[in-house]
Structure 1
Amino acid sequence: MPYWRISGFYFFYFASLGALVPYWGLYLQDLEFSPAEIGELIASLQATKIVAPNLWGWIGDRTGKRMRIVRLAGLISPLAFVGVFFGSGYWWMMMVMIAFSFFWNASLPQFEATTLNHLGRDTHRYSQVRVWGSIGFVLVVAALGPLLDRFGTVLVPPVVLGLFAGIWLMSLTVPEKGHPHSHLASGSIMAIIKKPEVIAFLVVCFLMQAGHAPYYAFFSIYLEAHDYSRTAIGVLWALGVGAEVLLFVFMHRILQRVNVRRVLIISLALASVRWLLVAKFVDTAWVMVFAQLLHAATFGSFHAAAIHLVHTYFVGQHQGRGQAFYSSISFGLGGMLGSLYSGYLWSGLGSSFTYGLAAALALVATLIAMRWIRG
């Protein structure tokens, strides 16, 4: 198990998210895009998650060479991202964001499958590797906030580009690892997807990410509008992912003792609480701190439980496409539609209504999980 090499990839991948997720919306706002346009542009990042992971997942499952895909995607995504330095119009930015994200989004599901194959029977220890991604996110988001207060969002693109380069370099160090029992899954992947429990699981993941979309797209803009400095914004983001880091450290023990279904349901219920707090108490700093601490559940424990279930549902040669399908339905379709409704509702019905809707989506997902997902 090449622990540090795999951990290094996660570190750089999620460090790039630490620059993009909290600060890309602010960067687009400084380019004078409207909330609707920001929602559409961020939706384009999520839209490529619908197609790219499934295309590359099919190739990875057919060839068994998942790390080749990760390395190719890791090389092309920074080359495509360079386009942001050569224009700032709406359609140019849309084209560049679609181009780099098509490859950037392709790599993670294939790397997740490779990681789980390296772990073998110790899949409950996934969180001990994945925690380094969260550490990368925390370090970048905390360091970048004060720098943006001083120098502005013009720093965001070069930082992202450097982190993309780090992803590619780390991908070169991780060896290939196929699944030792790929013959166990010779049937159609559609037979798995059509199972009622799997359908319910995918719907739950879709709703959870659609509910998170206003957070990823507009939380920094929301805080800045309520007089939080960019340093404070960075601290709040870092606090949320810091809580996620602590949870990941102990997650393997939790999953050994607590039913994965229960972990999933608790995470969903806490997401509904979190978005209600964000909707109603943005001007109360300690409530925002508490809401950010809930990120440990709404992303950390939920994602760990979801990855565990995907690995259980999609075995053998279907692992790559299973991870890709999970990514495309939740982060792709859910994130895309969530970013779109966020952008359109933000200007029309307001930020509080938008986060209230996010809370409702999480509540519906909780009820579906309680009814249809088994332990």
Structure 2
Amino acid sequence: MREVDGRPALKLRLGGAYAAFFLAMGIQLPYLPLWFQHRGLGPEAIGVALAVPMLARLVSMPLLGLLSDWLGRPKALLVALAVATACGMVLLALAADFLVILVVLAFTALAWMPSLSLLDSYASRQARAGQADYGKARQWGSASFLVANLVGGALVGMLGAGSVVLMMLAGQLAYVIATLALPELPRPEPRPAPVSGRRARLGVLAGIVAAALVQASHATLYAFASVSWRAQGYSFTAIGVLWAVGVAAEMALFRFGTRLVVRFGPHALIAVGGITAVVRFAAMASEPPLAVLVLLQLLHAFTFAATFLAMVELVSRSVSEHRSGTGQTAAAWIGSILMSSANVASGPLWAAFGPLAFLVSSAIGLAGALTALLAARLQPHSSGSGG
């Protein structure tokens, strides 16, 4: 701790950056629809407003990854995107007209949504250099998200829905400060990719698609689990506890997951995540009792956290350091496409089949597991760990 740029200080700064990033996200995901309603938007308009950021990030994510690698100053770009996002949130707080809200949302999402992938790229490079542990840094994002959910709900109850964007802005300003505290990385020398050959590159792509499929299997969970649990008669308190159990499980996995991914490799973790998703969502289709639901939520450690950690590690092992930003944003781009598609499909599936729609989630998880096993077979050799 005595040296400003020593490893303990860097670990604190990196963990702080993840924690700050997820403060605003922990307010946005559950409470921004309430702000839309406060501004007078109806259900159809809210649906459009929620879709706009998803489309915007599909445009900017790969471009910003290329820009990060071209500039060779990932910290500087993280700061610039953080400031741009904060400016967007200021404009959003002032916006009242529907079309203005949509334009500001699109502008803000262009900078905000890809920032997490670029932060993952930055963290994985520090891990590759032995300066940090990606999983242990990322766990603070999960913890912050949970705190923002709980504290944000209490503040919205006291201050009203009009305060939501202001709370998002406060979290984003914390992220601006956190990115400023990060040390800049040196520009890496261009080197050949660790993975070469058509078969090996196809294996990397298959691994990324496998992880994206396992992540997409959560779409119905995120959209309708609370609806399902409420219909079973569980209180809002019980529902909140169930979600908190899932976040706590992912935090534990992130803390110790680096050992797992080094020991077993990313493909194995993705396959385990997919198989766990088969079990988890097949069980949820039967509307199990509360005690079983708690156990199923603990499986979030494998269906989400292990799969996410494995995907970041797979990209870190497979691309040259000077292409890290491009690799991480490209993987996130593929994941966004599959998750968006699953989100769109989840509504009609739930309307038609109710909780049985979780069987489709189970099938998507199985597809992810099988794709991960195929990807492992396509790898001609083992790559070194990126940490």
Alignment of 1:333 with 2:337, yes or no, is yes
Q: Which runs of 5+ in 1 are unaligned?
A: none
Counterpart amino acid of residue 344 in structure 2: L
Q: Which moved more, 1:213-222 or 1:199-208?
A: 213-222
Whether the 8 Å CA contact 1:310–1:323 is kept in 2: the answer is: yes
Counterpart amino acid of residue 326 in structure 1: A
Which residue pairs with 2:205 in the alignment? 199
Which residue pairs with 1:323 in the alignment? 328
Q: Which moved more, 1:17-26 or 1:131-140?
A: 17-26
The alpha-carbon distance between structure 1 residues 220 and 33, as it changes in their structure 2 partners (threshold 3 A), is: farther
The offset of 1:191, in angstroms, is 7.7
The offset of 1:43, in angstroms, is 3.6
Q: Which moved more, 1:203-212 or 1:307-316?
A: 203-212
Which residue pairs with 2:296 in the alignment? 291
Which residue pairs with 1:272 in the alignment? 278
The alpha-carbon distance between structure 1 residues 276 and 38, as it changes in their structure 2 partners (threshold 3 A), is: farther
The alpha-carbon distance between structure 1 residues 341 and 243, as it changes in their structure 2 partners (threshold 3 A), is: same
Q: Which moved more, 1:20-29 or 1:250-259?
A: 20-29
Which residue pairs with 1:362 in the alignment? 365
The offset of 1:250, in angstroms, is 1.4
Deviations 1:135-184 (A, max 9, x none): 2112222333455567665553332221112111111111111364x321
Q: Which moved more, 1:92-101 or 1:135-144?
A: 92-101
Which residue pairs with 2:15 in the alignment? 7
Q: How many angstroms apart in 2 are the aligned matches of 1:219 and 1:16?
A: 23
Which residue pairs with 2:116 in the alignment? 108
Q: Which moved more, 1:206-215 or 1:59-68?
A: 206-215
SS of 1:289 mapped into structure 2: helix
Whether the 8 Å CA contact 1:240–1:294 is kept in 2: the answer is: yes
For the aligned residue pairs, the C-alpha RMSD in angstroms reads 3.2
The offset of 1:301, in angstroms, is 1.0
Q: How many angstroms apart in 1 are the aligned matches of 2:102 and 2:233?
A: 29
Whether the 8 Å CA contact 1:271–1:298 is kept in 2: the answer is: yes
Q: 1:57 aligns with which of 53, 57, 65?
A: 65
Whether the 8 Å CA contact 1:42–1:217 is kept in 2: the answer is: no
Whether the 8 Å CA contact 2:82–2:172 is kept in 1: the answer is: yes
Which residue pairs with 2:385 in the alignment? none
Whether the 8 Å CA contact 1:50–1:329 is kept in 2: the answer is: no
Deviations 1:81-137 (A, max 9, x none): 234444567655443332222111122222222222222343892111111111211
Which residue pairs with 2:190 in the alignment? 183
Q: How many angstroms apart in 2 are the aligned matches of 1:97 and 1:62?
A: 27
Q: How many angstroms apart in 1 are the aligned matches of 2:193 and 2:210?
A: 27
Q: How many angstroms apart in 2 are the aligned matches of 1:229 and 1:87?
A: 35
Aligned residues with identical type, % of pairs = 26
Alignment of 1:249 with 2:252, yes or no, is no
SS of 1:245 mapped into structure 2: helix
Q: Which runs of 5+ in 2 are unaligned?
A: 1-6, 383-387
The alpha-carbon distance between structure 1 residues 229 and 169, as it changes in their structure 2 partners (threshold 3 A), is: farther
The alpha-carbon distance between structure 1 residues 344 and 303, as it changes in their structure 2 partners (threshold 3 A), is: same
Q: 1:81 aligns with which of 89, 107, 111?
A: 89
Q: How many angstroms apart in 1 are the aligned matches of 2:130 and 2:310?
A: 14
Q: For CA contacts below 8 A with separation 6 or more, give which structure has more relative contact order.
A: 1
Q: How many angstroms apart in 1 are the aligned matches of 2:241 and 2:190?
A: 48
Deviations 1:272-300 (A, max 9, x none): 22223333316x32233222211111111
Q: Which has the larger radius of gyration?
A: 2
Counterpart amino acid of residue 331 in structure 2: Y
The alpha-carbon distance between structure 1 residues 341 and 173, as it changes in their structure 2 partners (threshold 3 A), is: same
TM-score (ref. length: structure 2): 0.83
The alpha-carbon distance between structure 1 residues 194 and 329, as it changes in their structure 2 partners (threshold 3 A), is: farther
Alignment of 1:233 with 2:236, yes or no, is no
The alpha-carbon distance between structure 1 residues 238 and 142, as it changes in their structure 2 partners (threshold 3 A), is: farther
Which residues of 2 match residues 145-160 of structure 1 at below 5 A?
145-146=153-154, 153-160=161-168
